């Protein structure tokens, strides 16, 4: 069954790649929907304050809200088609989703012809307000959440498969991202 998981991980990497390409076409050089005519809550409103608190001070936009809801619905289609849901499958899916968001976001920088990895830092990437070393704090949270969501499988279901899933999820995404960075000529 681990090969099913491997296929899912590769499939979601491909989606993150093409979603980054699509977002580059939509946003161009302006990250975080800066120039899009997207809804934004009033500055200082309760929802603005709440979102900034939980998102590392990012601005809430209608574009990102709709996109995240859409992606979560698409990710959950598997439960609609199979009509089978269990908590371990849900946690696995959410684990993949959290890592997917980090990979998708980083791919935007790798694939965007108007950026390079030399620009990837707090001085040029203004919408990521908090950084830890070479990456936004969000990325560390997303990786940690991805691992944490698979821990119930490790602890309660099948510890070997759970450990393998964590290794596959992180390893395959890291490997495919490294290949993308290496072969995409404008990354540097």
Note the pLDDT of residue 58: 81
Structural domains in the chain (count):
1
Is 61 among the domain residues? no
* 145 found inside a domain: yes
Give burial (CB, 10 Å; 0-12/13-18/19+) of 38: middle
The domain containing residue 118 runs over which residues? 2-30+83-183
Q: Of 109, 77, 96, 73, which is closest to residue 150 (Cα–Cα)?
A: 96
Residue 50 lies in a domain: no
The pLDDT tens digits for 102-156 are 999 999 999 998 887 888 999 999 889 899 999 999 999 999 999 999 999 999 9
0.85 cut: is pTM over it?
Answer: yes
Mean pLDDT computed over 33-53: 86
Q: Is residue 188 part of a domain?
A: no
Phi, psi (deg, nearest 5) at residue 135? -140, 155
Position 124 in a domain: yes
* Residue 150 confidence (pLDDT): 95
Mean pLDDT to the nearest integer, 36-54? 86
Please check whether residue 54 lies inside any domain of the structure.
no
pLDDT above 80 for 80: yes
20, HSE (Cβ side, Cα atoms, 13 Å): 23
Residue 16 lies in a domain: yes
Rounded mean pLDDT of the chain?
91
**Of 4-8, 57-61, 66-70, which gets the smallest average pLDDT?**
57-61
pLDDT, position 185? 73
Alpha carbons 120 and 89: distance in angstroms, whole number: 34
pLDDT bucket at 43, cuts 50 / 70 / 90: confident
Question: Stretch 27-39: mean pLDDT, rounded?
Answer: 85
pLDDT at residue 187 greater than cutoff 70: no
More confident residue, 13 or 41: 13
Residue 35: is its pLDDT beyond 90?
A: no
pLDDT single digits (tens) 153-183: 999 988 999 899 999 999 999 999 999 999 9
Q: Cβ distance 87 to 156 under 8 Å?
A: no
pLDDT at 188 over 60: no
Following DSSP, what letter does each residue of 112-141 receive, concatenated? Answer: -TT--GGG-STTT-TT---EETTEEHHHHH
> For residue 100, is it within any domain?
yes
């Amino acid at each position: 069954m681990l090969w099913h998981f491997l296929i899912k991980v590769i499939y979601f990497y491909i989606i993150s790649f093409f979603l980054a390409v699509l977002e580059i076409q939509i946003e161009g050089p302006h990250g975080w929907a800066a120039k899009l005519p997207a809804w934004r809550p009033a500055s200082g409103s309760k929802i603005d304050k709440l979102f900034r608190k939980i998102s590392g001070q990012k601005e809430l936009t209608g574009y990102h809200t709709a996109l995240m809801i859409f992606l979560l619905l698409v990710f959950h289609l598997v439960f609609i088609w199979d009509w089978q849901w269990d908590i371990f499958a849900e946690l696995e899916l959410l684990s993949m989703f959290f890592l997917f968001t980090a990979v998708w976001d980083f791919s935007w920088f790798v694939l965007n012809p108007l950026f390079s990895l030399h620009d990837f830092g707090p001085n040029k990437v203004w919408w990521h307000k908090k950084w830890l070393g070479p990456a936004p704090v969000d990325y560390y949270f997303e990786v940690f959440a991805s691992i944490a969501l698979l821990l119930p499988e490790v602890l309660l279901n099948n510890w070997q498969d759970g450990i393998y899933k964590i290794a596959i999820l992180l390893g395959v995404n890291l490997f495919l991202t490294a290949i993308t960075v290496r072969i995409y000529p404008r990354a540097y």
